[in-house]
Amino acid sequence: MKIAVLAGGLSPEREVSLSSGSLIANALAERGHLTALADVYFGIPAGTAPESLFTSGQRPVYTVGSKAPDLTAVKAAAGGREALIGDGIIDLCRAADVVFIALHGAMGENGMLQATLDCCGIRHYTGTGYVGALLSMDKDIAKKLMSGAGVPVPEGIYFDARTGDPGLIAEKIGFPCVIKPASCGSSVGVSRVFSRRELQTAIAAAGVYEDMLLAEKMIQGRELTCAILNGRALPPVEIIPKSGWYDYSNKYRSGAVSEICPARITPEQTAEIGRLAELAFSALRMEMYGRADFILDGDGNFYCLEMNALPGMTPTSLLPKEAAAAGIGYADLCCMLAELAAKK
């Protein structure tokens, strides 16, 4: 097949996406597919025929830095372009048998790209459609839908960083709490807050990325994640940072965390986290694959923190680890997702 792999974009997770995209393209090429790896934001060079970009060759693998990229600098490098989809990208997608969406966050994960492809008559893309992407990316909407479906979630409130009163968070949620942008991933802009003195700093840190935030009661316990592949739960992973907590730096710095898969929990707990992950996946109208993040508290209760419509596919990402525990290697996983997309 000819497979267009879309990565990059104008998102705080662009470096993660470029790493995912290069690995996916290489894995698919190893299996005999012709791939074209493109940065959605920068587009393809003017005058380039999309067909000429498909190749069986290998590409350099991008490395994720310890900090989120400077998007102002990225935008400046593109001449300040406001359009999120660069020149030639839609034509490239039309020329492909399958579009593999390797974007994370922003346009790639909030449904905008999926809706654009749908409107252009391009349906053969990986992952969920625009509805599931939108519902899962907005953490406030996702929490309400998951809770309504019977998936336990942390207590929290939706908060406007520009006009909201921090005292409301202290009054309704208390401390310790977690402040996060309502629609970012990879722990970008997330802070753990233990006192009122730290609250304003945390709100400002999250407000760099978007105005609408989520303030949640911090659930103390073990951090686990459970991926869904083709509607079924994979073996869960337990994540144990070697220092600090599971923030952006620890997520993408090799050796910073221990990831135990399958997680060392009871068979009953394994069944329960899988049931809740599948329930959340269905409640948010997701398709093909996704990943649910949980905290298991000291009383044995699971709380779903969020659902990810396009989980990372980097060397330290969790979905490939869970798939491997189920007997599905990295290249097999990439091919499976491409084949599922081809059947849409």
- Cα 298 from Cα 317, distance rounded (Å): 26
- Cα 278 from Cα 149, distance rounded (Å): 11
Task: Please identify every residue annotated as catalytic.
Answer: 13, 186, 252, 291, 293, 306, 308, 312
**Kind and range of the H or E element at 143?**
helix 139-148
- Cα 78 from Cα 158, distance rounded (Å): 34
- Cα 297 from Cα 96, distance rounded (Å): 46
- In the sheet that holds 177-181, the strands lie side by side as 156-160, 212-217, 177-181, 191-193
Q: What is the DSSP letter of 286?
A: -
Both tokens of 74, joined, read 């990225």
User: At which residue do the structure tokens 């999926």 appear?
Assistant: 114
Helix-strand-coil split of the chain, %, nearest 5: 35, 20, 40
Side-chain half-sphere exposure of 343, counting CA atoms within 13 A: 10
Both tokens of 174, joined, read 């208390």
The set of residues, in sequence order, having a beta carbon less than 8 Å from that of 40 and lying 6+ positions away, is 6, 7, 8, 9, 84, 85, 86, 89, 103, 107, 108, 113
